[in-house]
């Protein structure tokens, strides 16, 4: 299965915030959309960084409540790993597991076209396994 299939099923909407957004406002976006990460983008199409709940928690522990009024640029990951719509889910699973990445933006021609979470990857692989199982059962029961 390819990443494009995941995006077809879940949609291509991506929550983004501009770089000057405060951490406090970021928390509102995360909670409002019930998501774990947001792409930092000046225009909603290019990627400046990505910031997750983990980033907030780690820096809050270190810096305290003063962090809430600072811009997300102070805590975001700048070197963002991305994938393309034509990439295979199995290779993405490997990369996400190896590098402990939970959210990966999907990019086509240097433009943000979606985001995939590790949950999306797991769900797609479970669906694929269930389909394979169904085909095997049908085969064994002579339905082909």
Structure confidence by residue, pLDDT tens digits, 35-88: 999 999 999 999 999 999 999 999 999 999 999 999 999 999 999 999 999 999
What CATH number has the domain bearing residue 44? 3.10.580.10
Residue 19 and residue 48 in contact, taking contact as beta carbons nearer than 8 Å: yes
Q: How many domains does the chain have?
A: 1
d(CA 26, CA 35): 11
Domain that residue 75 falls in: 3-140
Structure confidence by residue, pLDDT tens digits, 1-33: 899 999 999 988 999 999 999 999 999 999 999
* Whole-number pLDDT of residue 40: 98
CB atoms within 10 A of CB 109: 6
d(CA 136, CA 36): 37
Residue 37 and residue 75 in contact, taking contact as beta carbons nearer than 8 Å: no
d(CA 68, CA 50): 17
């Amino acid at each position: 299965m390819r990443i494009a299939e995941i995006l077809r099923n879940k949609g291509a909407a991506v929550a983004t915030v501009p770089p000057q957004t405060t951490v406090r406002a970021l928390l509102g976006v995360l909670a409002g959309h019930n998501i774990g990460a947001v792409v930092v983008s000046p225009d909603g199409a290019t990627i400046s960084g990505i910031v997750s709940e983990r980033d907030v928690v780690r820096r809050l522990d270190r810096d305290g409540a003063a962090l809430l009024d600072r811009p997300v640029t102070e805590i975001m990951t700048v070197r963002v790993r991305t994938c393309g719509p034509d990439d295979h889910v199995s290779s993405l699973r490997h990369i996400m597991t190896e590098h402990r990445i939970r959210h990966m933006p999907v990019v086509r021609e240097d433009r943000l076209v979606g985001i995939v979470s590790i949950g999306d990857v797991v769900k797609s692989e479970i669906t694929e396994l269930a389909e394979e199982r169904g085909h095997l059962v049908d085969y064994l029961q002579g339905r082909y």
